[in-house]
């Protein structure tokens, strides 16, 4: 399924919204009936804009899973045996209480202890990126993974560091292969391990994963179930089964669910004044939907927003070159995958480096990034990085200045994207 909306269509909808928005600020429209009918028009305009931008019902995006595989996947997801040193599980960074991320700007990987912010007091290795949540990952058409899109399904198949040997045609399964072999994430960054990686690259990752698969196969609780649900002898269980089970778990547990916005668009459900105003801004003058579009509120493309950078950065010394790390194409410097927006209320802090802590600030970063930083306290390097990123962001179709009230309305609108009945 393909969701991209033609730019022309969004422009037409934006024009429609603009005309409706002006007509309802008409000072003559004072009588209660006139106000009610203009609200009705605005609601209809918002519904149409949402549909033109690919809004879909959760039920139409869900890819079915097999309950027995989901349950094995859950056990693996929660098991510290997933890491080479046996001390860190997927769950340590993807926590229900932080909306399947960890509440920290940068993740604390191997060596860390405790949950969420407690991990900061431990000895864990800092991972230079903000943990991504899982909502809708594995849904129909969700084809691009990680902040830099280093796993991506294109017209010719999966593009990833596995090259032509991608372990699956399902991008979520390919993505589930990566964390267990990422340095600092689940593998200790010691000179010995680093040398082994550098020397042998993928084949060494294969060795680690074979070791992990055998560990799960001989685990009393997990082994027999894993073998049974995949119809294999325990000794024949490979990492592809482990990754498949993990992806079944993620695909099921974090599947799309109805939201207040879905109810509003498809069932004429309720909406508050602030949410309505925010929705009109989102698809209209705020230009949000030129990137946050489609059923997951992302175009699955790469853009530049000059968020402040925090932490060490993927490229070191406080710099993260984003998509460039995956493509080595200089035009991709400082671009990041447009983040999906479901449950965004629950996944603070925001941006690839977790540098801003509230949704208001995250929105402000799009049109007034300098308001969020104190350039006087920056090092020369930080300042020059910021100016380069302001340059790349200036080539994007970003919103022009919004008032604090409008930012508040956008936040109210985003709150409509929270799933009903998601794990917490």
Q: Find the helix or strand (DSSP H, E) in which 15 lies.
A: helix 7-24
Token pair 């179930």 is found at 225
Residue range at the interface with ligand HEC (CB under 6 A); choices 156-164, 356-364, 380-388, 416-424? 356-364
Footprint (CB under 6 A) of ligand HEC, residues 100-139 = 107, 109, 127, 129, 131-132, 137
Residue range at the interface with ligand HEC (CB under 6 A); choices 173-181, 195-203, 233-241, 269-277? 173-181
Contacting residue, 350, 373, 385, 409, with ligand HEC by CB under 6 A: 350
Nearest distance from C-beta of residue 277 to ligand HEC, angstroms: 13
Nearest distance from C-beta of residue 19 to ligand HEC, angstroms: 20
Complex with ligand HEC: residue 26 or 387, whichever CB lies closer: 387
Residue 254 DSSP code: T
Nearest CA-CA partner of 359 in 371, 349, 374: 349
Contact pattern for ligand HEC over residues 252 through 291, marking x by CB under 6 A: ----------------------------------xxx-xx
Complex with ligand HEC: residue 38 or 62, whichever CB lies closer: 62
> Site for ligand HEC (CB under 6 A): how many residues?
49
Could you say whether residue 382 binds ligand HEC (CB under 6 A)?
A: no
Contacting residue, 88, 104, 265, 271, with ligand HEC by CB under 6 A: 88
DSSP string, 39-57: HHHHHHHHHHHHHHTT---
335 has which bridge partners?
Answer: 322
| Number of Cβ atoms within 10 Å of the Cβ of 273 | 11
Token pair 């149409």 is found at 48
**Any residues with CB less than 8 A from the CB of 170 and at least 6 apart, and which?**
247
Footprint (CB under 6 A) of ligand HEC, residues 12-71 = none
Complex with ligand HEC: residue 42 or 129, whichever CB lies closer: 129
Complex with ligand HEC: residue 199 or 328, whichever CB lies closer: 328
**Any residues with CB less than 8 A from the CB of 86 and at least 6 apart, and which?**
80
| Number of Cβ atoms within 10 Å of the Cβ of 47 | 17
Nearest distance from C-beta of residue 302 to ligand HEC, angstroms: 7
DSSP string, 375-410: GGGS-HHHHHHHHHHHHHHTTS-------HHHHHHH
Footprint (CB under 6 A) of ligand HEC, residues 312-341 = 336, 338-339
Complex with ligand HEC: residue 38 or 214, whichever CB lies closer: 214
Extended strands (E) in 25-160: 144-145, 151-154, 157-159
Residue 415 DSSP code: G
Token pair 């925010």 is found at 278
The token duo for 75 is 């056990």
Residues in touch with ligand HEC (CB under 6 A) = 82, 88, 90, 92-94, 107, 109, 127, 129, 131-132, 137, 145-147, 175-176, 179-180, 185-186, 246, 286-288, 290-292, 303, 305, 307, 336, 338-339, 344, 347, 350-352, 359, 362-363, 366, 396-399, 410
């Amino acid at each position: 399924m393909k969701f991209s909306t033609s730019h022309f269509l969004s422009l037409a909808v934006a024009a429609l919204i603009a005309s409706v928005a002006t007509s309802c600020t008409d000072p003559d429209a004072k009588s209660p009936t006139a106000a009610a009918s203009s609200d009705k028009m605005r609601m209809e305009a918002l519904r149409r804009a949402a549909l033109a931008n690919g809004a879909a019902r959760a039920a139409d995006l869900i890819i079915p899973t097999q309950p027995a595989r989901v349950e094995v996947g859950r056990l693996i997801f929660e098991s510290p045996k997933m890491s080479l040193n046996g001390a860190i599980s997927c769950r340590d960074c993807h926590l229900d209480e932080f909306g399947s991320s960890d509440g920290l700007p940068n993740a604390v990987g191997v060596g860390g202890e405790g949950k969420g912010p407690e991990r900061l007091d431990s000895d864990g290795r800092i991972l230079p990126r903000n943990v991504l949540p899982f909502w809708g990952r594995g849904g129909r058409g969700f084809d691009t993974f990680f902040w830099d899109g280093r796993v991506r399904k294109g017209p010719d198949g999966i593009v990833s560091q596995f090259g032509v040997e991608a372990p699956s045609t399902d991008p979520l399964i390919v993505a589930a292969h990566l964390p267990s072999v990422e340095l600092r994430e689940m593998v200790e960054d010691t000179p010995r391990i680093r040398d082994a990686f550098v020397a042998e690259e993928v084949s060494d990752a294969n060795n680690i994963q074979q070791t992990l698969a055998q560990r799960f196969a001989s685990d009393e609780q997990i082994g027999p179930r894993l073998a049974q649900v995949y119809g294999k002898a325990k000794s024949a269980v490979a990492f592809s089964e482990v990754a498949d089970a993990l992806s079944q778990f993620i695909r099921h547990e974090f599947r799309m669910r109805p939201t207040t916005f879905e109810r509003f668009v498809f069932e004429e459900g309720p909406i508050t004044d602030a949410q309505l105003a925010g929705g009109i801004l989102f698809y209209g003058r705020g230009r949000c939907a030129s990137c946050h579009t489609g059923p997951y509120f992302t175009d699955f493309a790469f853009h530049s927003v000059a968020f402040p950078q925090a932490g060490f950065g993927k490229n070191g010394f406080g710099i993260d070159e984003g998509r460039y790390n995956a493509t080595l194409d200089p035009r991709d410097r400082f671009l990041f995958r447009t983040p999906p927006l479901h449950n965004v209320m629950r996944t603070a802090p925001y941006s690839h480096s977790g540098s801003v802590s509230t949704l208001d600030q995250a929105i402000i970063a799009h049109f007034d990034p300098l308001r969020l930083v104190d350039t006087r306290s920056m090092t020369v390097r930080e300042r020059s990085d910021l100016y380069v990123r302001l340059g790349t962001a200036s080539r994007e179709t970003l919103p022009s200045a919004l008032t604090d009230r409008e930012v508040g309305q956008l936040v109210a609108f985003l709150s409509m994207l929270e799933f009903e009945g998601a794990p917490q």
